[in-house]
Amino acid sequence: MAPPQGPRAPLEFGGPLGAAALLLLLPATMFHLLLAARSGPARLFQALVLTALLVGLGVSAGLPLGALPEMLLPLAFVATLTAFIFSLFLYMKAQVAPVSALAPGGNSGNPIYDFFLGRELNPRICFFDFKYFCELRPGLIGWVLINLALLVKEAELRGSPSLAMWLVNGFQLLYVGDALWHEEAVLTTMDITHDGFGFMLAFGDIAWVPFTYSLQAQFLLRHPQPLGLPMASAICLINAIGYYIFRGANSQKNTFRKNPSDPKVAGLETISTATGRKLLVSGWWGMVRHPNYLGDLIMALAWSLPCGVSHLLPYFYLLYFTALLVHREARDERQCLQKYGLAWQEYCRRVPYRIMPYVY
């Protein structure tokens, strides 16, 4: 079966070498972070071996929630293994999928690269869409569950959860609740429309999101932080500003894409493109070319601040997320330039900043 993209098409993520390195680096980073959140670096190898031994025992669902934080390492190992096996299944499944079901990327002919990126665009069995399910369910819900377990454990240890723990739990619950509330919006993200379903997304959804996105709460359990009301209020304000921009920008674009004559967006200025679709050039999308990323990054800052500034670990999410969004923005720009050509160039001329006005 001929792949839709020839071996000489430009490869992303550093090609096969980059994909091979990421296959090892991503799980290694996640385990390192999990360990760094709980103790000194000397326990890294002990803990990995312990995790490998514990995985055989599995975890039963009936355990009290406060016991979960102690099981994060074995659970992360199981999640990683599941992501590997699941990606293997997806790779095999793509071998028998029709060419029309394959993703525009992820079909280079190099097995490591294709395993990493994913060959099939939206693998399904009957009506069950694996990618849509994984993107929103196990990772996001697992993340909230781990956060909650850390809050319960802190209450067990110290009598009540700290203000910092409440803030981190509240902010991240709002973010996950928002994603589930607006779940149809995920259908227009490049993960669903462009990327295949391979190791990158499977690992991201099943392991990376629940275990590394909960790092701030993990950190707070072991490193309690005093937080006064004025500082807490300032952090809440930062999160509210971030959320306002994130939600405002995403909703404006979603409303416009669904119905351009909706009164909420009908008055906005647009650029016509040769495809018949229009681009917003005022409102949130006239401020920068990715206002939703800006809001997301401001929220990421608010999630780290309750952890103080004594340690870099709680800021991992902010740093990783900045890198992810800068890379994602570059990929999206490339795809938009291909799709909209001159109209996209005109948009870039009228809205010169990508994410942060006057900075980037």
Ligand X SMILES: NC(=O)C1=CN([C@@H]2O[C@H](COP(=O)(O)OP(=O)(O)OC[C@H]3O[C@@H](n4cnc5c(N)ncnc54)[C@H](OP(=O)(O)O)[C@@H]3O)[C@@H](O)[C@H]2O)C=CC1
User: Which residues here bind ligand X, judged by CB under 6 A?
Assistant: 188-190, 246, 250, 253, 257, 277, 279-280, 285, 290, 292-293, 296, 328, 332, 335-336
Candidates 129, 120, 130; CA nearest to 100 is 120
DSSP states of 114-170: HHHH-SBSS-EETTEEHHHHHHHTHHHHHHHHHHHHHHHHHHHHHSS--HHHHHHHH
Out of 84, 91, 203, 285, point to the residue binding ligand LPDX5YLU (CB under 6 A): 203
Token pair listed for 292: 């939703």
Question: What is the x/- site pattern for ligand LPDX5YLU, positions 222-261, by CB under 6 A?
Answer: ----------------------------------------
The answer to the question of residue 188 lying near ligand LPDX5YLU (CB under 6 A) is no
Out of 68, 191, 304, 344, point to the residue binding ligand LPDX5YLU (CB under 6 A): 191
Shorter beta-carbon distance to ligand LPDX5YLU: residue 199 or 347: 199
Q: Which of residues 271-300 bind ligand LPDX5YLU (CB under 6 A)?
A: none
Q: Rounded to whole angstroms, how far apart are CA atoms 13 and 26?
A: 13
**208 touches which of ligand LPDX5YLU, ligand X, none (CB within 5 to 8 A by kind)?**
ligand LPDX5YLU
Side chain identity, residue 192: I
Q: Rounded to whole angstroms, how far apart are CA atoms 240 and 231?
A: 14
Candidates 300, 181, 182; CA nearest to 252 is 182
**26 touches which of ligand X, ligand LPDX5YLU, none (CB within 5 to 8 A by kind)?**
ligand LPDX5YLU
Shorter beta-carbon distance to ligand LPDX5YLU: residue 162 or 303: 303
Q: Which stretch binds ligand LPDX5YLU (CB under 6 A): 48-56, 205-213, 232-240, 329-337?
A: 205-213
Candidates 68, 226, 197, 52; CA nearest to 122 is 197
Question: For residue 175, which phi and psi values (nearest 5 degrees)?
Answer: -65, -45
The answer to the question of residue 173 lying near ligand LPDX5YLU (CB under 6 A) is no
Instruction: Give the DSSP H/E element, type plus range, for residue 173.
Output: helix 163-181
Token pair listed for 180: 């589930």
Q: Minimum CB separation from ligand X for residue 197, in Å?
A: 15
**135 touches which of ligand LPDX5YLU, ligand X, none (CB within 5 to 8 A by kind)?**
ligand LPDX5YLU
Shorter beta-carbon distance to ligand X: residue 109 or 352: 352
Contact 195, 13 (CB under 8 A): no
Q: Rounded to whole angstroms, how far apart are CA atoms 175 and 171?
A: 6
Q: Residue 125 in 3-state DSSP?
A: strand
